[in-house]
Chain A
Amino acid sequence: EVQLVESGGGLVQPGGSLRLSCAASGFTFSTYWMKWVRQAPGKGLEWVASIKQDGTEKYYVDSVKGRFTISRDNARNSLYLQMNSLRAEDTAVYYCAREWYSCGDYWGQGTLVTVSS
């Protein structure tokens, strides 16, 4: 059974940093693109970043470029999102998802990031 479990969310002050993790199981992690998608409270979905199977290609939505870094450790079956210079507008539930034809076919339950003083 495919499982994705996010962790690392919490309350952080504006300008602070946070590192999200996503533990994958039930599939060959190293053979899939992976992505992060976020959802602000009561709002819609927003793609944040994607990473190729071997980590050599990474892509970001414009609003997080230069502040967020997506990475992966295939030996640990784990996906990460390092978030720096956080802003109030980054407050959201962050989901990791497995990419299938550029879609997310399996999603984690999400982890809430709240940026507030």
Chain B
Amino acid sequence: EIVMTQSPATLSVSPGERATLSCRASQSVSNNLAWYQQKPGQAPRLLIYGASTRATAIPARFSGSGSGTEFTLSISSLQSEDFAVYYCQQYKNWPPEYTFGQGTKLEIK
């Protein structure tokens, strides 16, 4: 099983500033990496797939990068609606054994 590790567990950032979230895979997943945003009481929302491709209707302030085992989600100029929990998910293997990171909580500083 590919283990996904996110850091930090909690990130405190002021509105208008930039946030950088990290995700590490226990083995290479190439670019088979997605990022999701989840707000309390809501379902996850797909932000990024293919490590760097924004999903439909996702604002340009969200960007993803990385490949292999190291990945980053960057959010430039944080808006109030961006404070949430973020998960990474790998989908490298076939047959599928999709695994998620434990999440990073992005909170207002």
Q: Which residues of B contact A107 (CB under 8 A)?
A: 43-45
Chain B binding surface, main DSSP class: loop
| Interchain CA distance A50-B45 in the complex, whole Å | 18
Among residues 20 to 62 in chain A, which have CB atoms less than 8 Å away from a CB atom of chain B?
Answer: 35, 37, 44-47, 50, 59, 61
On whether the beta carbons of A103 and B49 are closer than 8 Å, the reply is yes
| Interchain CA distance A37-B44 in the complex, whole Å | 10
Chain A binding surface, main DSSP class: strand
* Neighbour of B99 across the interface among A35, A47, A103, A110, CB < 8 A: A47
Number of interface residues of A (CB under 8 A): 20
Given contacts A44-B87, A45-B87, are A102 and B43 in contact (CB under 8 A)?
no
Closest chain-B Cβ to A107's Cβ sits at a distance in Å of 4
8 more A-B residue pairs beyond the given contacts A44-B87, A47-B99, A104-B44, with a C-beta to C-beta distance below 8 A: A47-B89, A59-B95, A61-B97, A101-B49, A102-B91, A103-B91, A107-B44, A109-B42
